[in-house]
Structures are given as C-alpha cells and as structure tokens.
C-alpha cells in the first residue's frame, strides 16, 4: 500500500459545506476521510453517499457502534457505498461474529475500538478498570484486540504505543489504525490526545493507517502539511 493511502484525515467539520471544502482541498493528498459523530449527525448518510459518488473518495465511518448484537447487525447492514472502514465496540466478542462477517463480506473492514488515545492509565483507574490492565493500558488494548479478533474484526484502532504488540500477538494481516498522531513540526492547541506518536514512529511500530487531523487542518498550508506527513510515512516504510 502506497504511503498516501495510509493517511486518514478526519472531517472534523460542523456541517457539509465545510466538509466539502476539506474534501476538495485534500482528496488528492490523503487515502481516506474519517467521519465522526458530529458531522454524521449534522448531515446524515445521504451526504456521504453523494460525496463518495461525486469525489470518488472512500470514508472511514468512525461511529463506534455499540449495542446488542441484533441491533448492531441491522445498523451495519445499512452502511452505505463508499465506506471502507468502520468501528464497533467489541466487548461481546464472538456474539458479534455474524454481524461483522456479513459486513466484511460487502468489502467493509470492521475495526474494534480498544482504548481511546485521549485516555491514559490514570483515566482508566478512575473509571474502575482493574490496575492490571490500566497502567499502562497495553494489556487492556491486547485484551480488547483479542475480543475484536473473536468477533471476526479485520483489525483494531489503538494508539501507536500499542501497535507493535498488537501486530506481534495477532499477526501482520490484522489491521492497525492509529489516531493521536502528531508530527514533530505540528502545533495542536488545546490538544486532548495523550498517547501520541509521530507518523514515522507509528508506521515503524506497525501501523497500517495513521489518523492526522489538527496538524493538517490548522496548518497555514494544509496541502503542504499533508504532503509532509505522506513523505514521513514513505521514509518510514523504507
């Protein structure tokens, strides 16, 4: 997979007008656009069906589905054309196998959510997570990655700090997507990410895809910033 295809850019926009501007600006610079709750609730699925057809781009639908297996199965069946990746909470393990398999049979890779990159060991301890898994979160990530594997997921979302151990435990074909990526040259004010890595570090650790948002979106020249990230990915792959 070429370097550009490994870069995911989140469409952190409040409405479709701003999202369209970002897509048009960066559609030749990134591999996938990530859609989160804010924009999806604002615009609904038809907007993304239209954009997938108009711009010829694919989406990472990061809605983190979480419900009983039957409800999740029905929701996943309604995923629209243009979705390449999507996310679920995988705490029910093999009970989700049918829903996940049906989705992946349509060419959509389902990823299990492990531990958000805005959370660290202290946060997990405060939430009542067993100290054996909380600090550092690596063991919890591996536990949840195992549940994702049992559910039939193609891979997981985790921080770059856990990418290597996930690959070692579950194999090179198990997809790893890493948010919380911050190039050394970037400035991200009021950053809520805690478990971060540079693009080079994450790729060398085994990440298949990296998510880079604010360092590109807030740059004086977003296209140039995206190209710098892709160049760093390419260098790390060599």
pLDDT digits (tens, 9 = 90+) for 68-126: 999 999 999 999 888 999 999 999 999 999 999 999 999 999 999 998 877 777 888 88
pLDDT in tens, 222-236: 999 999 999 999 999
* Alpha carbon distance, N-terminus to C-terminus of the chain: 13
Closest CA to 155 of 139, 176, 141: 176
User: What is the share, in percent, of the chain residues with pLDDT greater than 70?
Assistant: 96
pLDDT in tens, 26-41: 999 999 999 999 999 9
pLDDT in tens, 133-176: 777 888 999 999 999 999 999 999 999 999 999 999 999 999 99
Sorted by sequence, the CB contacts under 8 Å of residue 1 that are 6+ apart come out as 208
Total of domains in the chain: 1
CA distances in angstroms from 37 to 41, 63, 149, 185, 238, listed in the order given: 6, 6, 25, 28, 35
Q: What angle do CA 10, 15, 21 make, to 5 degrees?
A: 65
Owner of token pair 């990230």: 229
CA distances in angstroms from 182 to 72, 169, 198, listed in the order given: 33, 26, 5
- Catalytic residue list: 62, 64, 67
CA distances in angstroms from 191 to 22, 174, 181, 186, 194, listed in the order given: 21, 29, 11, 11, 8
**Binding site as annotated, residues for substrate:** 12, 34, 62-71, 117, 182, 193, 213-214
Residue 231 maps to which CATH number? 3.20.20.70
Contact of 90 with 127, CB cutoff 8 Å? no
**Binding site as annotated, residues:** 12, 34, 62-71, 117, 182, 193, 213-214
Domain span at 7: 3-237
Closest CA to 89 of 140, 142, 133, 148: 148
Q: Judging by beta carbons within 10 Å of its beta carbon (0-12, 13-18, 19+), is residue 33 exposed, middle or buried?
A: buried
Q: Is 156 helix (H, G, I), strand (E, B) or coil?
A: strand
pLDDT recorded at residue 188: 60
Give the global pTM: 0.91
Q: Is 56 helix (H, G, I), strand (E, B) or coil?
A: coil
Residue 8, strand partner residues: 32, 211
């Amino acid at each position: 997979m070429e370097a550009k295809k490994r870069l995911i850019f989140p469409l952190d926009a409040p409405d479709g007008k701003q999202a369209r501007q970002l897509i048009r600006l960066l559609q030749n610079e990134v591999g996938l656009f990530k859609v989160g709750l804010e924009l999806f609730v604002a615009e609904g699925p038809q907007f993304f069906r239209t954009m997938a057809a108009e711009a010829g781009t694919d989406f990472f639908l990061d809605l983190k589905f979480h419900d009983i297996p039957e409800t999740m199965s029905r929701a996943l069946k309604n995923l629209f054309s243009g979705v390449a990746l999507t996310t679920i909470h995988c705490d029910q393990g093999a009970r989700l196998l049918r829903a996940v398999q049906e989705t992946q049979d349509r060419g959509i890779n389902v990823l299990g959510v492990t531990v958000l990159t805005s959370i660290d060991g202290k946060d997990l301890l405060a939430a009542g997570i067993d100290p054996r898994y909380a600090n550092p979160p690596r063991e919890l990530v591996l536990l949840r990655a195992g549940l994702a594997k049992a559910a039939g997921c193609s891979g997981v979302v985790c921080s770059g700090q856990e990418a290597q151990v996930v690959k070692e435990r579950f194999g090179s074909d198990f997809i790893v997507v890493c948010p919380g990526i911050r190039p050394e040259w970037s400035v991200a004010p009021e950053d809520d990410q805690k478990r971060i890595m540079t693009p080079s570090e994450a790729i060398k650790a085994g990440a298949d895809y990296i998510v880079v948002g604010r360092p590109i979106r807030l740059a004086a020249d977003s296209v140039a910033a995206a190209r710098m990230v892709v160049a760093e990915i390419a260098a790390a792959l060599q």
